[in-house]
Amino acid sequence: MSKKIISELVGKIPLLKNVMDLEEVFWENPGYRNFSDIKLPLSKEDINDASRRLKRFAPYLAKAFPETAADGGIIESPLIFADSMKRELEGFYGIKLPGRLLIKCDSHLKISGSIKARGGIYEVLKHAEDLAAKEGLLLNENADYEKFASPEFKNLFSQYEVAVGSTGNLGLSIGIMAAKLGFKASVHMSADAKQWKKDKLRSLGVNVYEYESDYSAAVEAGRREAEANPNCYFVDDENSTNLFLGYAVAAERLKAQFDDMGIKVCDTHPLFVYLPCGVGGGPGGVAFGLKQIFGDNVHFFFAEPTHSPCMTIGCMTGLHDQVSVQDFGIDNVTEADGLAVGRASGLVGPMLQNLISGCYTISDETMFKLLAKLADSEKLMLEPSALAGMTGIVNIAGESGQRYLRNRGLAGNEQNITHIAWATGGSMVPEEIMKEYYNKGKSL
C-alpha cells in the first residue's frame, strides 16, 4: 500500500496515527446500526443446527475424552464474578468502575483449554460426520454417535487428512480432535507459536510444520497442502463458516448461565462483552451468537495487541482483509501468540462491520501486568493474550467509553451494566511457563 494512500487514510481517520504509533487506543464504530436493520448471511437456525450437532456428538466426546464425562460430553466453561479483579483494576488505573465484572473462562474449556475448543473441535466433528454419512457408516442423526470411537470409524478416517494453519490454540484444538478420531493431522504453525504447543501436538502424533514468517504464511502453506491432496480437508481460520458457527453456540450456553445466576439483560441492564481478537473467527462467532439472543442490548468490543491490530485497522478503514498491519508499518510481533495476526478475516469483518460496537488495543506490558494481578486477586492463571479483554471495562469508564454510552443512550445506566471479559486460553500452559509469565508480570 502506497504512502500516499496511508497518508490519506490517516487524514480521514486521525486515530489511525495513534494505532501506527503503537499506542493503546479505543475506537468507537461510527457505522454501528441496530441489529434489526442488518441483513446477515447466517441465521439463528444455523447456530441451532451447530448446537444440535454438538449434542449428538456428546456421547462420543464423553467416551473419547473422560474429562468431559461429568458434563455429559458437553464442552462448556465456567462464568465467574471477578469482584477482586475489579478492585485491582480500580487501584491500577485510579478510576471507579461502575457495573459488575465477570470472566467467561474459555481458558478452562476441556480438551484443548481455549476458546478454540469451540470452533475447532466443532469443525472437525462436522467433517467427520459428513465423511461417515458419505461412506454409509452413519445412516441418520439418531444413530449411536459413540461409534465414532470404534475401530471401523477410525479406519475410515485414517485414510484422510485434516490440516490447519495456526498461531497456536486453533492448531491445538484441530490437532487433538483430528488425531483422536483417527485422521492424519497436520498443523502449520507460525514462528510466534509457543514451543510447548508444538511439543504437545507432536506427542499426539500430529505433523507440525514451522514457518519463520507469521500466521498468514502458515495458513497459506496449509491451504496449498490441502489443494494438492484430494483426501486432505483444510480448516480455513480466515474464512470458515463452520468454525464461526461452532463459536456462536457459546451464546446460548451463556444465556443459560445467566438464567441460573439471575443475571438479566434488557434495555436498562445492558451486556458489554470484551473479546480478544486474532484473525476474528472466535470473537466474531461469539458476538454473532450473542446478537441473535440479546439483539441491541449486547455491545461487543474486539481487543487486540498494539503490535497486531488487524481487526481494528480493518474496521476503522473499512478495508478489512484488503490491508495488513504491515502495510501501516506495524511489525505484528507480540507475546500474545494467539492474537499475532497481521490480516483480519475476510468473513468476519465485512459480516459484522455494522454490529461491532468498537475495538481497542492493549500493550504486551499491560497484559503481563494484569496477568499477575488476576493470579493474585482471583487465583486464575491465563496466558497473556487472554488478558486483552480485561481492560474493556476500564475503556468504558474512560472518556471515549463514556461518549459511547451517551451515543447509545446508555448514560445513567452504568451501574446496571454486566461486563464480561472473555478469557480465551491458559489452562493448558505448562506450569513452569505460566510461572515465567507471572514473574514477568510482577516485575513489570
- Spans of all domains in the chain: 3-42+70-111+247-443, 115-243
3-42+70-111+247-443: which CATH topology?
Rossmann fold (3.40.50)
> What pLDDT is stored for residue 211 in this prediction?
86
Domains 3-42+70-111+247-443 and 115-243 share a fold: yes
> What pLDDT is stored for residue 191 in this prediction?
78
> What pLDDT is stored for residue 386 in this prediction?
97
Q: Which three cell numbers stand for residue 269?
A: 441492564
Following DSSP, what letter does each residue of 341-397 receive, concatenated?
-SS--TTHHHHHTTT--EEEEE-HHHHHHHHHHHHHHH-----GGGGGGGGHHHHHH
> What pLDDT is stored for residue 433 in this prediction?
96
Is residue 289 within 8 A of residue 248, CB to CB? The reply is: yes
H or E element at residue 184: strand 184-190
Q: Identify the three-state secondary structure at position 286.
A: helix
Distance CA 361, CA 328 (A): 15
Is residue 140 within 8 A of residue 78, CB to CB? The reply is: no
Q: Identify the three-state secondary structure at position 114.
A: strand
Q: Identify the three-state secondary structure at position 90.
A: helix
> What pLDDT is stored for residue 114 in this prediction?
96
Nearest one of 308, 306, 312, 341 to 193, comparing CA atoms: 341
Distance CA 9, CA 28 (A): 17
> What pLDDT is stored for residue 242 in this prediction?
97
Phi, psi angle pair for 161, to nearest 5°:
-125, 150
Beta-carbon-side half-sphere exposure of residue 386 (alpha carbons within 13 Å): 29
Tell me the residue length of the chain.
444
Q: Which three cell numbers stand for residue 71?
A: 458434563
Give the architecture-level CATH label for domain 115-243: 3-Layer(aba) Sandwich (3.40)
Distance CA 134, CA 403 (A): 54
Instruction: Identify the segments of the chain with pLDDT beneath 50.
Output: none
Distance CA 177, CA 153 (A): 14
